[in-house]
Structure 1
């Protein structure tokens, strides 16, 4: 998340340790009770701050949720980057991308369900963190396609942005938190089958 985005989400005193304390406590509280069922009053009571004091640092419950969501999505982005590092071909990168995203999303769902719900709400309501994450994925897909074209792995006739958007839409039911929760049973097989389908469509 950029400093500019953080500035929009937070306000008041520049005491980052207190902000971090609120975010840490909120992460634990949302993780136990859920984001949508928790009010700022509930959160204030749970962490021992007044509601007014929390509002000195965050202008809404969503602003707190945004930071938590951005942190989780940053972790997923790091997992993806590590998974793609040193992968020799664009074809294998596309396979690895879809598999890694479905595995990371599924893992979050089963191990931090309440926090997964924050990501689903962020996707549903187009929070800036979710929109930025989607934009990063689209850009990554486009870069992989371009790499494949330069290496002669992929066809060159389809406009680059059109091909990237089509692949993103095919992947979306298994990489978007809002949709993945309804496709968990088929996600592992889908990651394999859809990757093969995508790669056949990209063949020169």
Structure 2
């Protein structure tokens, strides 16, 4: 683990610089030892700052975890937005939306298991970052549905909020980090079959 020390030739790093150093070091530390097994004292010792100094920038371990979780969830959303950006129809956007979410979540689980645990804790304990992430995904579903209704692809009788929430509930076992880890074996197949089922239900 690389020790982060303040530069003795400067007046001290800017607040955002120190925060970035703590987050970067915490991301590395958590990826090795896991979020729940790590204390702020462990982290302070590992990165070369005092515990009190870290508390000047983060009021708890969760606050550090929140930043890491927000960063990871933002990366996931970027993957989804990139996947659906050039979809020619709303139907195709919905297919790609589900497929990209499942693939990105599964990739994080298999290749960065310790950091996946942070996403799981955030979802389980309803951290603000996780709540905001779900709200943004739900909003994206609503936007896709609205586009599909405007183009004539989707039915218009069901209230928009009811339809979007129903779709989100269907996708939840493969979107939520807590549930996805138990559904990995069927995730890829589900991405295809459930999106097809949803699209049939949306037909005008």
| TM-score normalised by L of structure 1 | 0.93
Compute the displacement of 1:179 (Å). 0.6
State the distance in 2 between where 1:195 and 1:113 align. 27
Q: How does 1:10-49 map to 2 (within 5 A)?
A: 15-49=15-49
State the distance in 1 between where 2:38 and 2:86 align. 43
Aligned equivalent of 1:195: 195
Aligned equivalent of 2:171: 171
- Structure 1 residue 107 and structure 2 residue 116: aligned? no
- Structure number with larger C-alpha Rg: 2
Aligned equivalent of 2:83: 83
| TM-score normalised by L of structure 2 | 0.93
Task: Find the residue that maps to 1:186 and give its secondary structure.
Answer: helix
- Structure 1 residue 129 and structure 2 residue 135: aligned? no
Aligned equivalent of 1:3: none
In structure 2, the gaps of 5 or more residues are 1-12
Task: Find the residue that maps to 1:140 and give its secondary structure.
Answer: helix
State the distance in 2 between where 1:172 and 1:119 align. 14
In structure 1, the gaps of 5 or more residues are 1-12
Q: How does 1:174-185 map to 2 (within 5 A)?
A: 174-185=174-185
Task: Find the residue that maps to 1:185 and give its secondary structure.
Answer: helix
- Structure 1 residue 159 and structure 2 residue 153: aligned? no
* CA-atom RMSD in angstroms: 0.9
State the distance in 1 between where 2:134 and 2:15 align. 31
Q: How does 1:140-155 map to 2 (within 5 A)?
A: 140-155=140-155
Residues 49-84 of structure 1 deviation map (CA, whole Å, 9 limit, x = unaligned): 111110000000000000000000110111111101
The alignment of Structure 1 onto Structure 2 pairs a total of residues equal to 192
Compute the displacement of 1:14 (Å). 5.7
Residues 14-39 of structure 1 deviation map (CA, whole Å, 9 limit, x = unaligned): 61111100000000000000000000
Q: Which runs of 4+ in 1 moved over 2 A?
A: none
Q: How does 1:50-65 map to 2 (within 5 A)?
A: 50-65=50-65
Compute the displacement of 1:161 (Å). 0.1
State the distance in 2 between where 1:86 and 1:44 align. 45
